[in-house]
């Protein structure tokens, strides 16, 4: 689906007119209240997948709608500047709306706001999001944005889930927080989760009931079981389960784990993680294995990985492989190059590049991730990879001071993007190519613009659909040093 830019312009113009009139006109939207029913026309979708509409000059975000639709909605939250609503009825349909949505919780769950949209339309909409982010910058006007590479599996692709446990042991809930609240929505058979995850959640709920396991309450800070973390190896059809608890309490969790493994024998790793904090962090500092197995084995392409309870690993293995293969293609390695992989995590991209490079040097802030990367290098018998834990800018500076030649630098930063100092240090080292992998088109475009001022031209961007049914999209960007000819593969 292509974003209707003229409609967006009209929408923004109306909002600007409303802002200018606020000082002299009364707040006509002041009457909005929770529970109110309205009929609205959806102008467009924002970058989070919410429909944008207005009511008497007031901005209303609507989940589960498509541009151009006329809908009856119920106001869930009425704020001074903006309100949130859910759909009661669609009165005029967008032709890209699915006749049958693969989820019966779309009116209560906004975890996948695009799930009512046909998949090709989702891909077109995401390409529009990336193009808008890129074209904001004059320096990136010549960058080619490819069509979004589709996920091999649009449904049941998530190989991991971090779920909240709530309620009472007689009627437990396992799911996610509802928007703008700490109320927990029980997910049941989530169409995004791998089937084993759904089976684990169902078995844990029954185990809680049978064992009368106490559930943690955020209000009282009392109770035992707080979160359920599940990881699945799609290649081995095996799973790891982490019970996050407020204290050690071996007995209840031991019996719950035993019941779970009896019902779902694919669970081969069971861990109790103790989180004594009262904040929103999921994992605590201490963990105890409830069995002999310590890690989950999986494979992406021809690379094997051992995943520990704290390892970061891509939630969509099929799309992760597309990203790694695109990085390897655009790297254009011949066996003579030195590569630096910044924000390397557990070594996914590093190991994919190692067999075609002279050497790969991975840098990662999290020490546990570096330990996993080293284990994965040994697991694959790859000896030309080395990893270091520390601040990216400082370690890059050390490489520069050592006079080390670097031909390619790969960056895969968190959603907030890179500190400008890191980008300056990358440019100062002077690789002929830079490949930037990002989960945020907006921060990626900002950093690519900075790179343009540092002498690196963005040739192409390849979006990859890592999270179907959601507004998120991953991107791989190829940059070349100005005045360097023939760098990298065809784009």
Q: Which residues are catalytic?
A: 439
Distance CA 270, CA 247 (A): 16
Contact 103, 170 (CB under 8 A): no
Contact 186, 174 (CB under 8 A): yes
Distance CA 45, CA 325 (A): 31
Q: Are strands 286-289 and 267-274 parallel, antiparallel or unpaired?
A: antiparallel
**Helix residue ranges per DSSP H, 188-273:** 195-211, 250-263
Closest to 323 (Cα-Cα) out of 143, 126, 150 = 150
Q: Are strands 70-78 and 37-41 parallel, antiparallel or unpaired?
A: antiparallel
Distance CA 339, CA 225 (A): 44
Reduced to 3 DSSP states, what percent helix, strand and coil does the chain have, rounded to the nearest 5? 30, 30, 40
For residue 313, what are the CA distances in angstroms to 154, 165, 255, 331, 485? 19, 23, 29, 22, 35
Closest to 327 (Cα-Cα) out of 409, 263, 248, 418 = 409
Which 8-state DSSP code applies to residue 209?
H
Distance CA 456, CA 118 (A): 37
Rg for the chain, CA atoms, rounded: 24
């Amino acid at each position: 689906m292509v974003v209707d830019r003229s409609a967006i312009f009209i929408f923004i113009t109306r909002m600007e007119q409303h802002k200018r009139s606020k000082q002299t006109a009364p707040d006509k939207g002041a009457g909005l209240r929770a529970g109110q029913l309205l009929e609205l026309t959806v102008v467009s979708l924002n970058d989070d997948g919410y429909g944008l509409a207005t009511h008497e000059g007031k901005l209303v975000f609507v989940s589960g709608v498509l541009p151009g639709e006329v809908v009856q909605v119920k106001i869930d939250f009425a704020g001074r500047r903006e309100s949130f609503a859910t759909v009661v009825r669609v009165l005029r349909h967008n032709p890209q709306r699915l006749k049958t949505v693969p989820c019966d919780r779309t009116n209560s769950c906004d975890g996948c706001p695009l799930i009512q949209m046909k998949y090709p339309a989702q891909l077109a909409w995401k390409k529009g999001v990336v193009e808008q982010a890129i074209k904001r910058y004059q320096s990136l006007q010549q960058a080619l944005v490819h069509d979004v590479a589709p996920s091999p599996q649009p449904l049941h692709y998530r190989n991991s889930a971090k779920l909240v446990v709530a309620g009472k042991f007689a009627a437990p809930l396992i799911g996610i927080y509802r928007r703008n609240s700490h109320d927990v929505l029980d997910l049941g058979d989530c169409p995004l989760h791998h089937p084993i995850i759904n089976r684990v959640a169902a078995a844990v709920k029954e185990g809680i009931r049978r064992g009368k396991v106490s559930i943690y309450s955020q209000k009282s800070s009392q109770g035992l079981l707080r979160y359920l973390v599940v990881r699945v190896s799609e290649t081995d059809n095996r799973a790891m389960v982490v019970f996050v608890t407020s204290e050690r309490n071996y007995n209840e969790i031991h019996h719950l784990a035993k019941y779970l493994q009896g019902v779902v024998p694919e669970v081969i790793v069971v861990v109790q993680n103790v989180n004594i904090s009262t904040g929103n962090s999921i994992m605590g500092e201490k963990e105890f294995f409830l069995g002999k197995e310590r890690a989950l084995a999986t494979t992406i392409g021809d690379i094997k990985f051992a995943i520990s309870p704290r390892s970061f690993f891509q939630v969509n293995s099929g799309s992760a492989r597309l990203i790694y293969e695109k990085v390897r293609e655009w790297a254009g390695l011949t066996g003579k190059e030195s590569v630096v992989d910044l924000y390397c995590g557990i070594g996914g991209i590093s190991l994919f590049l190692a067999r075609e490079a002279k050497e790969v040097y991975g840098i990662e802030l999290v020490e546990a991730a570096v330990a996993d990367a080293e284990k994965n290098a040994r697991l694959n018998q790859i000896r030309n990879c080395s990893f270091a834990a520390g601040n990216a800018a400082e370690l890059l500076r050390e490489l520069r001071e050592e006079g080390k030649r670097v031909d390619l630098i790969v960056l895969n930063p968190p959603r907030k993007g890179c500190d400008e100092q890191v980008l300056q240090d990358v440019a100062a080292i002077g690789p002929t190519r830079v490949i930037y992998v990002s989960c945020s088109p907006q921060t990626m475009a900002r950093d690519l613009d900075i790179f343009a001022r540092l002498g690196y031209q963005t040739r192409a961007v390849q979006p990859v659909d890592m999270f179907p049914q959601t507004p998120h999209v991953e991107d791989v960007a190829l940059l070349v040093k100005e005045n360097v000819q023939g760098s990298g593969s065809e784009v």
